Structure 1
Amino acid sequence: MSSLQEFTQNFDGKPVPQALAQLLAFQQETGFEEYAEGFGLLRDDKSGLEHGWSNEPAFLEKLLPFAQANGSGSFYALWLHNDSTDLNELPVVVFGDEGGEYVVAENIKGLLQLLTIDAEPMIFEEVTFYRDEDDDYSSSYAEEYRTWLKDNFNLDAITDAELIINPAQEKHQAAFDAWKQQYFG
């Protein structure tokens, strides 16, 4: 990702959510996939959605992909499920490279907290962020990211993804499932 101008193209003429603009600046300093395992903001042309899920215009216009979720092709998108003009408050969904589509956060700030786990999501029959207690791997700038998140948004690091995922799914998953079913089975 080289510029905010390129990243802006993900949002179909809408302003880039401020939290993502700030995260992009952080990423430009630290590097793609360097602060949360497998994660990186990128320019997405929706080709993954078109070829993997549906090329229906009504489907594509309600999803704004903006980030890689893991190193094997999963990605995050904002779901324009209502008439809200505030992209900061839209649910974040993940599309798995092996299938599966799930709400993972009620909004962008929830996703930012999930990234503090520093683990790639596993997307199968559900979405999980598993980290083995004995695994001492850490992304190069994971600690700096946690500090950045606290300093910029007063959000703490988490170790349990369910604190973010469960309330988001309770609020939005059934509606997301019903909506997406009209485009694919």
Structure 2
Amino acid sequence: MSDAYSPIPELNLLKAFDDTCTDFYSPGFELRAYNHGVGWTEPDNPDFEDRVIPFAQATSSGSLYALWRCDDRADLATLPVLFLGDEGDLYITAHDLRELFWDLLDEDSGEPAPPREEYRATRQAYHTWLERNFGPTPPAYDRSPMEEHGWRFVDWLLSVGERDTADIVIESLELLEIPRP
């Protein structure tokens, strides 16, 4: 049995970096036990839980990041990343883990930032780590994650009996004016 944090090399690299940090490198972000229950649907829906892989806290109030296992691809790092909000928000926030890692540098997360001086060094170390492991620039995509995967996600939610959850995503798609293909 492996002592690795997860079966995903990119997440294992982040975990190794995270273990060296004493401060946050992104406000509200914190790795949690890999694939340790979502607990987001009421009552827990095993069909939902089987395809949603939580790996990090997204906000200090309890929102989560999770991978959506939209298919059976071998490279889990290329799966879409979900934001499961503690207040009921649900959307696809990144095309894959690499995009999420770059997005963690976004200063406008809505989270209160740690004290500036302490935070700056850890944030710079994260930026250096990111460039060293994934290149000097974020990945580029032609469409947003919601444009790319949103309606397919809705269809999957409906197929596993998550009508109320699908309605949350549909509302976001409509607000973003993303038409159904």
Q: Is it true that 1:143 corresponds to 2:143 in the alignment?
A: no
Runs of 4+ aligned structure 1 residues displaced above 4 Å come to none
Percent identity between matched residues is 31
1:117, CA displacement in angstroms? Answer: 1.1
Q: Is it true that 1:93 corresponds to 2:59 in the alignment?
A: no
Post-superposition Cα deviations, 1:44-69, rounded to whole Å, max 9, x if no partner, equal 521533xx445121111001000000
CA–CA separation in structure 2 for the residues paired with 1:102 and 1:42: 20
Which residue of structure 1 aligns with residue 157 of structure 2? 180
Which residue of structure 2 aligns with residue 7 of structure 1? 5
CA–CA separation in structure 2 for the residues paired with 1:62 and 1:121: 28
Contact 1:113 1:155 in 2 (8 A): no
Which residue of structure 1 aligns with residue 17 of structure 2? 26
1:87, CA displacement in angstroms? Answer: 0.2
Q: Is it true that 1:37 corresponds to 2:18 in the alignment?
A: no
Structure 1 unaligned blocks of 5 or more: 9-14, 123-130
1:157, CA displacement in angstroms? Answer: 6.6
Contact 1:39 1:120 in 2 (8 A): no
> Which of the residues 101, 105, 115 maps onto 2:94?
105
Structure 2 unaligned blocks of 5 or more: 165-181
1:177, CA displacement in angstroms? Answer: 2.0
Post-superposition Cα deviations, 1:79-98, rounded to whole Å, max 9, x if no partner, equal 00112121011000010000
State the TM-score, normalizing by the size of structure 2. Answer: 0.74
1:176, CA displacement in angstroms? Answer: 1.1
CA–CA separation in structure 2 for the residues paired with 1:23 and 1:168: 22
Contact 2:5 2:11 in 1 (8 A): no
CA–CA separation in structure 2 for the residues paired with 1:157 and 1:86: 19
- The alignment of Structure 1 onto Structure 2 pairs a total of residues equal to 156
Alignment CA distance shift 1:45-1:137 (3 Å) = same
CA–CA separation in structure 1 for the residues paired with 2:100 and 2:87: 21
Q: What RMSD over aligned residues (CA atoms) do the two structures have, in Å?
A: 2.9
Contact 1:35 1:118 in 2 (8 A): no
Alignment CA distance shift 1:47-1:84 (3 Å) = closer
1:7, CA displacement in angstroms? Answer: 3.4
